[in-house]
């Protein structure tokens, strides 16, 4: 658009004979017009560990992950710098540059001690679902800071468009921010993309067309065979493992998997990316004078990872298929915007631990504990010690909420109770520490862990104490896999950049997840989000 206007203006002034000069000046003007990218596209691969980039690299093609690493920039030592490492916190941190202590998003769920109920991170009773009658009362109102998308919108007086897309509601809503033009997520019960009245009063016609049953059937009702002969999956364990969870009506967790929930198959990635293309076309993203922003989260790797674990053939197949999906997506972006006219980054909201069953089988540390049973026995122990009932109101997201009013009514010192809980819990299998959240600064902990715990503590929403399991342990069963802890398998994530003004290279310098948003702000010359505590990645954004 900028180039066409420039040529037309010059032609009217000097005439057709000056075409050679016009073309020379156009080259200069093209550089001036490229001071901002047409669109920024952030892609979060839910539960992607950093090592997946290299574990399967010799099986990836040229156009997906290898293209980003071959043309773009990789921050190979990117770590999450808060706790807990769960989906809502991760997606929020990426786009705010902030931590749960400030954003208020300190878990997928938390216990509201003032109203005595569990709060889901994007719950909003003031809105109505759009596109479904089942649930969907969702918005970003629980988020206490701005996002990079909000700052982009404010910087140009709301000319930029911002859209969030994911299978998970929280992964679409929280990245897009408060002022987004729209956020869309997948309703598993109806197999449709939906939204809420926070964004619009009716589902756009393009979404209704995309939700056509024939279109959805190609993703939702598909059996899952391996992409290549199963014998070639030598990066993974054998297929038949008892510690992998069985889905649907299957009796064993082995290929081929019969059609099931799309979020637990790799086909959800293709569905999400194709919906993202449809959104770009419908909203004309990247075609206006202002820079637009599209946030995409691929939720399927998380569903597959939880069920089968990071050492499974299922995970390897998921990433080989995702590599092909990315190659097609990049080609589509090249054709639409031009290869260097869009700014793309890829990261993850968290990693994942090996299945405890895998660890036990291979004689490595790991196991599982029954948190519900521990909570019941803890309350019984407190009853016996302090003669009070139900001293623990809730244990949510590995945080213990103590009944403060009950202690005050019985004139029981809270610190005394916390010390008793810490001593009692440390004797339970799989528990490394239980810490009072209000005294984290004085806790005897390695410095990085202390920082993570402090960053994760929100005074209004966090519990009184935090449970830290031993490495390799998780709440629940030894089957499947989980995340959420302070250890490297959960905190070491990929961070790749490609496209507009991104140099080729890599760094092993320590980068925090909180550094992504300020890097974007620096590149776009806009204000950092309101709660941002990160620093720009100087290798990309300059010194």
- Which candidate, 219, 191, 220, 181, places its Cα nearest to that of 132? 191
Marked catalytic residue, from 78, 87, 396, 491: 87
Query: Which phi and psi angles does 55 have, rounded to 5°?
Result: -60, -40
d(CA 95, CA 147): 5
d(CA 26, CA 32): 10
Q: Cα separations (Å) of 477 from 47, 71, 196, 353?
A: 19, 42, 35, 13
Tokens of 104: 């208020």
Count the neighbouring beta carbons within 10 Å of the beta carbon of residue 447: 7
Tokens of 72: 């773009």
Q: Cα separations (Å) of 297 from 25, 271, 333, 348?
A: 41, 11, 17, 9
Tokens of 176: 């897009």
Q: Cα separations (Å) of 158 from 161, 162, 171, 314, 423?
A: 7, 10, 23, 43, 54
Is position 87 annotated as part of the catalytic site? yes
DSSP 327-375: HHHHHHHHHHH-TTSEEEEEE-S---PPPHHHHHHTT-S-EEE-HHHHH
Which residues does 425 contact at the CB level (< 8 Å), separation at least 6? 374, 378, 431, 434, 467
Tokens of 40: 């920024």
Name the burial class of residue 501, with classes exposed (0-12), middle (13-18) and buried (19+) by CB atoms within 10 angstroms of its CB: middle
The distance from CA 46 to its chain's CA centroid, rounded to whole angstroms, is 5
Q: Are strands 182-187 and 162-166 parallel, antiparallel or unpaired?
A: parallel
End-to-end C-alpha distance for the chain, whole angstroms: 31
Q: Give the active site residues.
A: 87
């Amino acid at each position: 658009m900028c180039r066409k206007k420039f040529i037309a203006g010059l032609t009217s002034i000097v005439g057709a004979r000056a075409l050679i000069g016009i073309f020379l000046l156009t080259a200069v003007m093209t550089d001036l017009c490229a001071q901002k990218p047409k669109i920024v596209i952030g892609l979060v691969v839910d539960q992607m560990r950093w090592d997946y980039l290299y574990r399967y690299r010799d099986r990836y093609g040229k156009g997906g992950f290898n293209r980003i690493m071959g043309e773009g920039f990789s921050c190979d030592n990117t770590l999450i710098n808060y706790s807990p490492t769960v989906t809502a916190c991760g997606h929020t941190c990426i786009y705010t540059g902030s931590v749960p202590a400030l954003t208020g998003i300190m878990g997928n769920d938390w216990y509201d001690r003032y109203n005595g109920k569990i709060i889901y991170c994007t719950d909003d009773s003031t809105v109505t679902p759009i596109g479904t009658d089942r649930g969907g009362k969702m918005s970003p109102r629980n988020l206490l800071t701005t996002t990079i998308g909000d700052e982009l919108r404010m910087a140009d007086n709301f000319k930029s468009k911002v859209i969030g897309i994911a299978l998970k509601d929280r992964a679409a809503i929280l990245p897009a921010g408060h002022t987004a033009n729209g956020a869309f997520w997948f309703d598993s019960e109806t197999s449709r993309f939906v939204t809420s009245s926070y964004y619009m009063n009716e589902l756009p016609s393009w979404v209704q067309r995309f939700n056509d049953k024939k279109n959805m059937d190609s993703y939702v009702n598909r059996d899952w065979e391996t992409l290549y002969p199963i014998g070639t999956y030598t990066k993974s364990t054998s297929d038949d493992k008892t510690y992998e969870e069985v889905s649907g009506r299957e009796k064993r967790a082995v290929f081929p998997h019969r059609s099931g929930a799309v979020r637990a198959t790799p086909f959800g990635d293709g569905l999400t990316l194709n919906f993202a293309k449809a959104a770009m076309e419908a909203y004309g993203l990247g075609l206006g004078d202002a820079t637009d922003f599209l946030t995409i989260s691929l939720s399927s790797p998380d569903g597959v990872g939880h069920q089968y674990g990071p050492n499974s053939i299922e995970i390897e197949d998921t990433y080989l298929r995702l590599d092909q999906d990315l190659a097609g997506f990049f080609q589509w972006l090249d054709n639409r915007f031009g290869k260097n006219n869009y700014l793309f980054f890829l990261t993850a909201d968290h990693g994942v631990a090996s299945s405890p069953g895998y660890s036990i089988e291979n004689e490595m540390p790991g196991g599982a504990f029954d948190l519900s049973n521990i909570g019941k026995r803890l309350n019984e122990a407190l009853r016996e010690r302090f003669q009070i009932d139900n001293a623990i109101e809730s244990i949510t997201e590995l945080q213990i909420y103590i009944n403060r009013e009950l202690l005050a009514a019985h004139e029981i010192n809270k610190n005394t109770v916390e010390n008793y809980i810490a001593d009692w819990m440390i004797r339970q299998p799989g528990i490394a520490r239980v810490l009072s959240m209000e005294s984290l600064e004085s806790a005897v902990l390695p410095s990085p862990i202390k920082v993570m715990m402090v960053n994760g503590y929100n005074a209004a929403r966090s519990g009184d104490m935090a449970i830290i399991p031993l490495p390799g342990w998780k709440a629940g069963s030894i089957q499947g896999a989980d995340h959420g802890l302070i250890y490297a398998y959960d905190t070491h994530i990929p961070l790749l950049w490609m496209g507009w003004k991104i140099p080729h290279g890599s760094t092993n310098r320590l980068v925090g997840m909180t550094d992504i948003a300020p890097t974007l702000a620096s590149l776009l010359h806009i204000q950092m989000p309101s709660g941002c505590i990160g620093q720009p990645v100087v290798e990309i954004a300059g010194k």
